[in-house]
Chains A and B, each alone.
Chain A
Amino acid sequence: MPDVTSQVRARQESGSAGPDGEVATVPAAQPEPAVRAAPGPTPERLARAWARAIAGTSFVSMTPAELRSYLTGLAARLLSAATADTFEASVGFEVGVALVKAHFTQPASLDHTLRVLTEQLSDVGECTRAPALQSALAAGYAHALRERTLAEQEEIRAAAMLARSEAEAARWASEARFQAVFAGAVIGIAIADIEGKIVDVNQTTCDMLGYTVDEFRQLTVDEFIHPEDAPGIWDAYRALTRGEREHFRLEKPYYRKDGQIVWTDLAVSLIRDQDGQPRYVVTMVEDITERHHLQTRLRHQALHDPLTQLPNRTLFFERLGQILDDADDDARVGVCYLDVDGFKMINDTLGHDMGDYLLLAVARQLHSSISGPGQLVARTGGDEFVVLVERSAGPDQLVEIAEAALAAVRAPVQLGGHEITVSASVGVVERAAHTTSATELMKAADTTLHWAKRDGKNRWALFDADRHAREVTKFELSAGLPAALERGEFLVEYQPLVRLEDETVMGVEALVRWRHPKLGLLGPDRFIELSEETGLIVPLGQWVLGEACRQAAAWRQQYPDIDLVTSVNLAVRQVQDPSIVAEVSAILEQTGLDPGSLQLELTESAVMGTSGRPLETLHALARLGVKIAIDDFGTGYSNLAYLRSLPVHSLKLAGSFVAGLRPPDCPDPVDKEIVATLIKLAHTLHLTVTAEGVETREQAARLRTLGCDTAQGWHYAMPGPPEHVLALLESSVCQPSPAI
């Protein structure tokens, strides 16, 4: 059967192998010498039928062609055994073995094989040989299958053993690693069960807290609660044991067995069992006592003043912020903001060392008399201290504390052999906590301290919202003045001056008004003082003067027959300004106004006590032909003798004297006497007298009786726009007789 061997060889050459690469050698190792040509099946035909029968019965890793080729080899051996001269049934046995080797391991494979052989071998060779070969094949198959099964079972058992022991080794290794880590770790490790019973701790934990392992095992986690534990940590712990969180970190103090405190950094983790249920809590404990002390020290340094050891500004604000954050709805807080009076001078005269010593003494006094629970005394700056009252009972309590603080500061201090006494000023603010912020509170305290200083020092002032609001408005007004002047928000109104003798209008006083965009029309009382403080009065006054002169010139042009004096106020600062004379003369020139029609009103203080340049200014103005009146006469310090030498033409009596003449039945006799005397005096000096604030007919009548020359007031006319004056002038032109 040359074709069989060549096929076998071809398979070997193509490298195509059976399941374990050996199968191909089975037929090759025992080549059959020759095959007798006989009728019946050839190996190919038998193999084809055989392959058809057993394909798919078992899993073999061969293509159909390979399978046929493999079976052709086996078929050839069977056929030659059936027809050989000497019969060897063992060939059948070997073919059975070869089938199993090719992995025909399913019983159906044997079954189908025997059936095919029964069909195909029935006519081949001696009739007894085929059954003998078949039974030998069955025996060989059974034997090989049993061997294979046992071998595979052994293999899988060995593999399972191996796998198991490897898993165990791995587990042991990891356990051993854990043991090594546990025992040798420089940080403490403690394991507790879910109920909090301590299960195991390592040596480091024992060393850290001073208990033995056995002592630990008698303890539960709860026994390590410490009063300084951060709030919430035990809630976190319980959440962990309920399985709601996996781990958390915290810093926590412990009492050692000997009572000392150990500060630790903890990492707490939950260990679950295989079903995910919380089982253990593992805690890693690091001793951070040193670090904690260092931090505490650093924190203390960061939050305290090195000189006095009092809490510093940072701590004060931290605490204040905390109190405001945590405040209930009805909680109140208060601060006393204290500043040592004249400290700068003490420092400058006695030196910084003495200054520091004084501050230290003040700090001690304040601390010992005021510091206490809920009352924090802090040093917030050079000579500034604050008392923070965390839960104020009301302004009275704060005032009491402020007085105590003032008393503490006033205690005499031994300083370089001298006993010296200092005082302080205190700004007190007290309010509902939820209505304020730290910044607001301290701003108010600063303002109030300022009040106490301004009111004369060595005292306390209590914050007053109205006063503050007024100051704020004042400030805002003052700040808005320059822009208002630029934008033309000012205007001039005129109030008639009436000759008492015949009640005709002989002049007007120019009065400035501010048409404020938000506050409406503001009178001079709201802003003149401010503009004097800021110096804006100089340009403002000049503008008013120009405006009034322009207006006066216009009237003059319109009613050339009427003699009208226009009176304009000059502020002290204007008089002090050396260019005032030039300016007035320039304005007169520009407007063409007769100087005799212009009267400048100066306050008593601007005129009296003038010497040097202002006096010269006054003379220069008089020389221009301008009239000069003294406003508000009688309110200041008046050197009557001096008045004589001044170039003054007129006095305006202060409204307060005139007011005394107002009551309809009986005027104030003193006021009446004063007014009478003043009028007499003025007339002696050849000065005319104008009464301001004339509000009633009786007043006017009394003034006339006393000889007063001119009057001004609501009784005659309110200040008004130029048109009002125009109307008056017009009526006096038509009816020269008294019109008002």
Chain B
Amino acid sequence: MERPTWAPEDVNVERPSVARVYDYYLGGSHNFAVDREFAEQVMQAMPDAPAAAQENRAFLRRAVRYLCGLGIRQFIDLGSGIPTVGNVHEVAQSTDPTAEVVYVDIDPVAYAHSRAILANNPHATVIRADLRQPAGVLADPKLREHIDFDQPVGLLLVAVLHFVPDSDRPADIVAGYSGAIAPGSHLVVSHMGAEGLDSSQDQALGLYKRSSTPIVPRTADELSSLFGDLTLVEPGVVRLSEWRPESPDEPAARENPALAAVARRD
């Protein structure tokens, strides 16, 4: 019998969800009171939280465009979140309307909403799965309808790997994906950094730590080691805003310790 990579459980709107909290940071209203309360708590500790989310989202957009520029026309967005403004399929399909995008998220609400949004988009879909099980994700028939594994793929792990503790062997998870994709594929990662945290950021991380989805910040070296035998593209592992800013008047780098990197499978 086929086993889903997620267990049917209650959709709990009494507990904050990472996906909905994140939506709130981005100015969305796809969230409930619990989510907003949690977000406000974080923002009290770290008023920059929404700005950091925006920066992350801006990096996502730049990275997807960069990949489009390399000719990549199919994307797997792992931990895609609740669709908000500037979703991967919007960015990619603005370059090529037939670009294929598969969203993957474990959050039932993110999944349901993404499905509603994508109902009429023949080139994008969403599956509900745990990204910590690469084999299960990659074997998903819906995913395989959209992704041609003989062609390069843009694999996105944006603001999500830091939810995977070391005990879940993140490097093995990344290798599970990178081993399955064609040469020329790229992996896009953004990740909470562990260096240069100020006290407000520490405090915010503390809040997450007590939630059901703690954040594991990692240093640049730790992050690099997760890429295995992939080759980092310029400028390597850097702060979010330093990753290929699109124009000189891009908002100046804030004190955001989050890291970004893109790597290629040769």
A residues whose Cβ falls under 8 Å from a Cβ of B: 15-17, 19-21, 55-56, 58-65, 103, 105-106, 148-149, 152-153, 155-156, 158-160, 162-164, 166-168, 170-171, 174
Q: How far is the CB of B16 from chain A (nearest CB, A)?
A: 13
Shortest Cβ distance from B50 into A: residue: A59
What's the A-B contact tally at a CB cutoff of 8 Å? 113
Q: B112 near A60 (CB under 8 angstroms)? A: no
Cβ 8 A contact of B29, one of A59, A148, A159, A166: A148
Given contacts A17-B94, A21-B94, A152-B28, contact A59 B8 (CB under 8 A): no
Is B27 part of the binding interface, using a Cβ–Cβ cutoff of 8 Å?
A: yes
Chain A binder among B83-91, B143-151, B152-160? B83-91
The 7 A-B pairs of least Cβ separation, nearest first, read A61-B86, A163-B108, A170-B8, A159-B112, A152-B29, A19-B85, A159-B113
The 8 A CB mask of B93-114 against A (1 = contact, 0 = none) is 0110000000000001111110
Q: How far is the CB of A72 from chain B (nearest CB, A)?
A: 15
* Chain B residue contacts of A174, Cβ below 8 A: 8
Interface size on B, residues (CB 8 A): 43
Chain A binder among B53-61, B195-203, B211-219, B220-228? B53-61
Q: B27 near A103 (CB under 8 angstroms)? A: yes
Q: How far is it, in angstroms, between the C-alpha of A59 and the C-alpha of B54 when the chains are bound? A: 6
* Chain A residue contacts of B133, Cβ below 8 A: none
Chain A binder among B72-80, B243-251, B258-266? B243-251
Shortest Cβ distance from B117 into A: residue: A155
Q: How far is it, in angstroms, between the C-alpha of A106 and the C-alpha of B109 when the chains are bound? A: 23
Q: B13 near A160 (CB under 8 angstroms)? A: yes
Cβ 8 A contact of B54, one of A56, A65, A152: A56
Interface of A is mostly: helix
* Chain A residue contacts of B27, Cβ below 8 A: 58-59, 103, 105-106
Q: A160 near B91 (CB under 8 angstroms)? A: no
Q: How far is it, in angstroms, between the C-alpha of A163 and the C-alpha of B95 when the chains are bound? A: 32
Q: How far is it, in angstroms, between the C-alpha of A728 and the C-alpha of B113 when the chains are bound? A: 128
Q: Which of B5-38 contact A (CB under 8 A)?
A: 8-11, 13, 20, 25-32
Is B135 part of the binding interface, using a Cβ–Cβ cutoff of 8 Å?
A: no
Q: B246 near A17 (CB under 8 angstroms)? A: no
Cβ 8 A contact of B95, one of A15, A56, A59, A171: A15
* Chain B residue contacts of A58, Cβ below 8 A: 27
Given contacts A61-B91, A105-B28, contact A56 B57 (CB under 8 A): no
Q: B251 near A167 (CB under 8 angstroms)? A: no
Given contacts A160-B109, A163-B108, A164-B108, contact A15 B247 (CB under 8 A): no
Q: B249 near A64 (CB under 8 angstroms)? A: yes
* Chain A residue contacts of B31, Cβ below 8 A: 156
Q: How far is the CB of B188 from chain A (nearest CB, A)?
A: 16
Cβ 8 A contact of B11, one of A15, A103, A164: A164
Q: How far is it, in angstroms, between the C-alpha of A467 and the C-alpha of B32 when the chains are bound? A: 98
Q: A155 near B10 (CB under 8 angstroms)? A: no
Is B122 part of the binding interface, using a Cβ–Cβ cutoff of 8 Å?
A: no
* Chain B residue contacts of A160, Cβ below 8 A: 11, 13, 32, 108-109, 112
Q: How far is it, in angstroms, between the C-alpha of A56 and the C-alpha of B53 when the chains are bound? A: 11
* Chain B residue contacts of A64, Cβ below 8 A: 246-247, 249-251
Shortest Cβ distance from A150 into B: residue: B29
Is B206 part of the binding interface, using a Cβ–Cβ cutoff of 8 Å?
A: no
Q: How far is it, in angstroms, between the C-alpha of A153 and the C-alpha of B82 when the chains are bound? A: 12
Q: How far is it, in angstroms, between the C-alpha of A164 and the C-alpha of B116 when the chains are bound? A: 15
Is B51 part of the binding interface, using a Cβ–Cβ cutoff of 8 Å?
A: yes
Is B235 part of the binding interface, using a Cβ–Cβ cutoff of 8 Å?
A: no
Q: How far is the CB of B93 from chain A (nearest CB, A)?
A: 8
5 of the cross-chain contacts (CB-CB < 8 Å) are: A19-B86, A61-B57, A156-B31, A167-B9, A167-B11
Q: B116 near A155 (CB under 8 angstroms)? A: yes
Given contacts A61-B86, A105-B28, A166-B108, contact A56 B51 (CB under 8 A): yes
Extra pairs beyond A152-B30, A164-B11, A167-B10 (20, CB < 8 Å): A17-B94, A19-B85, A59-B85, A60-B85, A61-B61, A61-B90, A64-B249, A103-B27, A106-B27, A152-B28, A152-B29, A160-B108, A160-B112, A162-B115, A162-B116, A167-B11, A167-B108, A168-B8, A171-B8, A174-B8
Q: B112 near A163 (CB under 8 angstroms)? A: yes
Is B4 part of the binding interface, using a Cβ–Cβ cutoff of 8 Å?
A: yes
* Chain A residue contacts of B82, Cβ below 8 A: 156
Q: A156 near B90 (CB under 8 angstroms)? A: no
Q: A155 near B251 (CB under 8 angstroms)? A: no
Q: A162 near B247 (CB under 8 angstroms)? A: no
Shortest Cβ distance from A57 into B: residue: B27
Q: B90 near A20 (CB under 8 angstroms)? A: yes
Q: How far is the CB of A107 from chain B (nearest CB, A)?
A: 10
